[in-house]
């Protein structure tokens, strides 16, 4: 099996448990300069998102909101000796060296990942625990972690549920210990309150996708200004027990919104569906897209009718076609008379809006 694919599959198991899963697209480091708040204003029901004939993701209410059991469990089962062991392992490397597991096929690894997603939700919300913790020495199981060398030895066969739970449990313990050693930095006074940013994010998703995110799990992430990028609030909406839904092959939609902290303006609203199959645009299809005015008309409609833009539009045109053809996306720039610009990106061939990005006229000045 391709070694890179095998390593990536192992990384899913190493990173998913315990780390704050903003989404399957954005997984932050154990420690960073951002301030993260999970479940800040989550409402009452679980949901799943489906794609009806209207091509607009909508919500279906399901079971009551699950409550995490992890924090209380770890407080009662983390002693000082274990904390020091975790700190020592993290000081060697953020992730251990992985040995073994290369005899499995890609399909076997994908199946294991889906099993792990379901088990992780059961670990977090249903109180499912491994019968024994992850071993730290050889001879206690085919799966064990050598803390002295920070090496994880994994089976060359199908993993048992117990082994998956042991690794999930260890990941959560690592994340808990790291959060205690490197606490979040306090949020500095902002021009707008966090609740104001959340309201704007909720409204942006409602306008563009007709989605009621009040019944979704929410997280916020304050990104400080660095590397030439301004300070931004990132707001994430995802279904409760998303991992279980993905593991069971259900369609899952997430929404990510980015807001400029200085102006309070929404600069990016994106709908994410990792299971969506992308259709690369070949040469013949690209010529057809170029001749089809409906893509530009739809972008203008989104900007005017959905976004509610009142300023006059100067022109609209397809952009980044070479790159986007490979991605299976069609992007349209909608330029306003004052120099501001929207970029609407659509999935091909369905013309479903993936994201709307806004650039103010004074950007970079």
Number of Cβ within 10 Å of residue 172's Cβ equals 21
What is the per-residue pLDDT for 5?
Answer: 46
Backbone angles phi, psi at 177, to 5 degrees: -65, -40
DSSP string, 43-100: -SEEEEEE--TT---EEEEEEEPP---HHHHHHHS--HHHHHHHHHHHHH-SS-EEES
What is the per-residue pLDDT for 26?
Answer: 31
How far apart are alpha carbons 148 and 51 in whole angstroms?
49
> Would you write out the chain's pLDDT as a tens digit for each of its 365 residues?
444 444 444 544 554 433 333 333 333 332 233 333 444 333 333 333 333 333 444 444 444 678 888 989 998 989 888 898 888 888 877 788 999 877 678 888 889 999 999 999 999 999 999 999 999 999 899 999 998 888 999 998 899 999 999 999 999 999 998 888 877 766 666 788 889 999 999 999 999 999 999 889 999 998 888 888 888 999 999 999 999 999 999 999 999 999 999 999 999 999 999 888 899 999 999 999 999 999 999 999 999 999 999 999 999 999 999 999 999 999 999 999 999 999 999 999 999 999 999 999 975 44
How far apart are alpha carbons 208 and 195 in whole angstroms?
20
> Do 345 and 355 meet the contact criterion of CB atoms below 8 Å apart?
yes
Sheet with 232-238, strands from edge to edge, namely 35-38, 217-223, 232-238, 254-260, 266-272, 353-359, 341-347, 329-336, 313-319
> Do 139 and 176 meet the contact criterion of CB atoms below 8 Å apart?
no
What is the per-residue pLDDT for 67?
Answer: 85
Domain boundaries, the chain: 3-19+64-181, 277-365
Number of Cβ within 10 Å of residue 314's Cβ equals 13
What is the per-residue pLDDT for 32?
Answer: 32
What is the per-residue pLDDT for 168?
Answer: 97
E strands in the chain: 35-38, 45-50, 58-64, 97-99, 144-146, 151-153, 217-223, 232-238, 254-260, 266-272, 313-319, 329-336, 341-347, 353-359
How far apart are alpha carbons 143 and 134 in whole angstroms?
8
213: buried, middle or exposed (CB in 10 Å: 19+, 13-18, 0-12)?
buried
The fold for domain 277-365 equals Nuclear Transport Factor 2; Chain: A, (3.10.450)
Backbone angles phi, psi at 320, to 5 degrees: 50, 45
């Amino acid at each position: 099996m391709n070694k890179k694919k095998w390593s990536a599959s192992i990384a899913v198991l190493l990173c998913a448990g315990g780390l704050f899963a903003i989404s399957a697209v954005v997984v932050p480091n154990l420690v960073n300069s951002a301030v993260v708040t999970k479940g800040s204003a989550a409402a009452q029901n679980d949901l799943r998102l489906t794609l009806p004939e209207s091509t607009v993701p909508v919500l279906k209410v399901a079971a009551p909101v699950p409550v995490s059991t992890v924090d209380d469990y770890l407080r009662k089962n983390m002693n000082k000796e274990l904390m020091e062991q975790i700190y020592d392992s993290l000081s060697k490397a953020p992730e251990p060296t992985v040995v073994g597991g290369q005899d499995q096929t890609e399909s076997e690894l994908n199946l294991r990942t889906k099993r792990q997603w379901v088990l992780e939700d059961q670990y977090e919300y249903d109180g499912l625990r491994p019968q024994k913790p992850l071993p730290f020495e050889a001879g206690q199981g085919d799966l064990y972690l050598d803390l002295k060398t920070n090496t994880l030895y994994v089976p060359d066969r199908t993993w048992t549920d117990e082994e998956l739970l042991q690794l999930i449990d260890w990941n959560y313990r690592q994340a808990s210990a790291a959060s205690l050693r490197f606490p979040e930095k306090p949020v500095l006074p902002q021009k707008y309150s966090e609740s104001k940013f959340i309201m704007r994010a909720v409204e942006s998703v409602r306008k563009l996708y007709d989605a009621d995110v009040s019944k979704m799990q929410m997280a916020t992430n304050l990104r400080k200004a660095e590397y030439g990028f301004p300070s931004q609030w990132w707001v994430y909406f995802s279904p409760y027990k998303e991992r279980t839904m993905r593991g069971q092959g259900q369609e899952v939609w997430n929404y990510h919104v980015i807001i400029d902290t200085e102006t309070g303006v929404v600069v990016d609203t994106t709908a994410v569906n990792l299971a969506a199959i992308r259709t690369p645009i070949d040469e013949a299809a690209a010529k057809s897209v170029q001749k089809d005015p409906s893509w530009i008309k739809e972008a203008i409609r989104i900007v005017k009718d959905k976004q509610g833009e009142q300023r006059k539009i100067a022109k609209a045109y397809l952009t980044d076609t070479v790159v986007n053809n490979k991605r299976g996306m069609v992007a349209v720039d909608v330029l306003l008379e004052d120099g501001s610009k929207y970029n609407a990106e659509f999935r091909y061939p369905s013309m479903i809006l993936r994201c709307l990005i806004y650039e103010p006229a004074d950007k970079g000045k």
